[in-house]
Structure 1
């Protein structure tokens, strides 16, 4: 089946499901929505409303980042919770599966990494305001039956997942990793009771309007796990100096300690949190090393990946320093 045919058939299926929601109103075309990194992402209008459609690519299995129905289950489960998410309006489990959700206007900007002209004070307000949203996710009770999550990983299991990714990167692209990974493994703390986790929680995955978070998006790798894993990752994006050659200075952003306090809201600091700060840096180095390897092997041409080596080296070095 050609790509054009597949899109035409998908558009017909989407229109059939949305038409009863907008009787007598015109339905627009299925338009590719830029910026999606999993499955296929489109937008469509129905009368005055606009929706986002996520679909499994034709011929591909609905697993991993292409498991769009799993994402829909998470969005449905969080509806009405303290975590703002788009509302799911239609789900079609027939292959290739897809779901439609409300289009939430807003901007998703990672202050220290993205090109932008936002007021630094606004960036600070947004970041501090996002801390209670993450706390709300970790305290949330899913609506109805909880969606099936992968087996929760304890800290050692989470480390092993990213260690495999790191070891698949050529050694010259991950200087110091062979010393870092055993140290992390030897000092892995006991896990906390598992909670719902986003997996990539940061401002770049949150649509904001003004000072407020309008919707947390990109739920491709949500799971059940240790809340400190999400938290350590979130705090990594407070300082542009964590990302040599990539980061952009943003005056006034909260530091890690201030952002951690905003998340804790007077509760005691979580135990062994420095280990999770080191884990976050290890995870970032592994992801960047993986992306750079794919570029150099010709699997995904992106010359911008050649800017990553200084940050990869800094992440590994900083993780080792955090461990002491």
Structure 2
């Protein structure tokens, strides 16, 4: 399989990049992440020695989180706006590459994950740099985000999105049934003008270099919506609730949620609701993925470890909006 991918991708890029001596000599799975297929590709005769290839999950419809071409469009647009994201080198559904399967080839960013970066840089420096990039990202006009024309999602729609996902998970994982979603609807805060929303803005989806953000990665669930959704995600990780397994490990970055809110310029009372929404979101995502794992549709043993975490996330959300 990997040989066929390399051969077809190499032929496509030789032609597209006008590099007759280009050679993709190796392909290896990137171990972090559990949503799609992500590989390192090592190259000779190319501008870069290493690239990252993203493909949709097996048997997934090429929509939503599996739409890697959409992810490429977002990253290309944001890079033009000065937001640190990987450079897009090739992207599309060329019938000569993987029989038309969508693919995304980006640079392998010179950066490290938070749990490595924190060994050389203090938590506050990394957290401040992360919040500053979040503010820059939210300041990009919607029409220049790569998602121009997509309708914004309001908060009830966001709640419905994760309610639908939870409804497709094993029933015993839905601890509160519809009560948690309804409580979130009943306590929705006033909405702000919509912006680009990453949707999973945590330290685990950021690479760092020299105390600065080198790249924001993993744009599968990006949308146009309420900006505090992203701050809520970051605060969810910072809050470090003692679950059996952290849903989005942040390494040792220990900036408190109150600090993140202050640096962003957000009202802590309002942001608390978005933290609750994030708990609900991550519970729904993990419950759905656990269901896929149990059914054999998308095996990943890591999800066997998460039933107690899924329950803990829901209880923490309910406590915040009780």
Q: Assess same fold via TM > 0.5.
A: yes
Q: Report the secondary structure of 2:196's partner residue.
A: strand
The equivalences for 1:181-260 within 5 A come to 181-246=181-246, 253-260=254-261
- 1:137 is matched with 137
Is the alpha carbon distance of 1:240 and 1:61 closer, same or farther for their aligned partners in structure 2, counting shifts above 3 Å? closer
Question: For structure 2, which runs of at least 5 residues remain unmatched after alignment?
Answer: none
The equivalences for 1:46-65 within 5 A come to 46-47=44-45, 49-50=48-49, 51-55=51-55, 62-65=62-65
Query: Displacement, 1:270?
Result: 7.4
Q: Which whole-Å deviations, capped at 9, do the CAs of 1:262-309 have from their partners, x for residues lacking one?
A: 122xxx527733221111111111112112222333333333323212
Question: For structure 1, which runs of at least 5 residues remain unmatched after alignment?
Answer: none
Is the alpha carbon distance of 1:58 and 1:156 closer, same or farther for their aligned partners in structure 2, counting shifts above 3 Å? closer
Q: Report the secondary structure of 2:112's partner residue.
A: coil
CA distance in 2, matches of 1:171, 1:289: 9
TM-score of the pair, normalised by structure 1: 0.83
Q: CA RMSD in A?
A: 3.1
CA distance in 1, matches of 2:250, 2:59: 43
Q: Which runs of 4+ in 1 moved over 6 A?
A: 57-60, 247-252
Query: Displacement, 1:134?
Result: 0.6
Q: 1:269 aligns with which of 258, 267, 270?
A: 267
Query: Displacement, 1:33?
Result: 4.0
Q: Report the secondary structure of 1:241's partner residue.
A: coil
Q: Which whole-Å deviations, capped at 9, do the CAs of 1:152-209 have from their partners, x for residues lacking one?
A: 1100000001011122223322323433122112222342211011111111111112
CA distance in 2, matches of 1:61, 1:8: 25
Q: Is the 8 A contact 1:238 1:255 kept in 2?
A: yes
Q: What is the count of residue pairs matched by the alignment?
A: 312
The equivalences for 1:93-172 within 5 A come to 93-95=93-95, 96=100, 97-109=102-114, 111=115, 118-119=118-119, 122-141=122-141, 146-148=146-148, 150-172=150-172
Alignment pair present for 1:313 and 2:311: yes
Q: Report the secondary structure of 2:214's partner residue.
A: strand
- 1:9 is matched with 8
CA distance in 2, matches of 1:309, 1:26: 47
CA distance in 2, matches of 1:170, 1:6: 35
CA distance in 1, matches of 2:117, 2:111: 15
Q: For structure 1, which segment, 186-195 or 60-69, has the greater mean C-alpha deviation from structure 2 after superposition? A: 60-69
Is the alpha carbon distance of 1:211 and 1:176 closer, same or farther for their aligned partners in structure 2, counting shifts above 3 Å? same
